[in-house]
Amino acid sequence: MPTYEYACKDCGRHFDIFQDFSEASLTVCPECQGHLRKKFGTVGVTFKGSGFYRTDSRSSGSSGSSE
């Protein structure tokens, strides 16, 4: 389940909440009953290690070209 960050436009409160994709976005601040907006940040995907390139899975002795 994804985590979404919300910020209240009125009181400035920031909080995170777990929500399903099918759930509607929150619109009311639970503290002051003000207007909420959903904050969007960077995507947390990082590619590390071998296997990123197609040739990474091959052993070092076999190259794709014939000599």
CATH of the domain at 8: 2.20.28
Angle (nearest 5°) at CA 25 between 21 and 31: 135
Q: Per the domain annotation, does 3 fall within a domain? A: yes
Residue 58 lies in a domain: no
**Inside any domain, residue 48:** no
Domain range for 32 is: 1-40
What is the pLDDT, as a whole number, of residue 35?
A: 93
* pLDDT score for 28: 93
pLDDT in tens, 6-59: 999 999 898 998 888 888 888 999 899 999 998 887 767 777 766 666 665 656
Q: Which residue has the higher pLDDT, 36 or 60?
A: 36
1 belongs to a structural domain: yes
- What residues are paired with 5 via a beta bridge? 16, 39
- Give the closest residue to 23 by CA, choosing from 44, 2, 6: 2
What is the count of structural domains for the chain?
1
Task: Return the pLDDT at 3.
Answer: 85
- The answer as to whether 50 is a domain residue is no
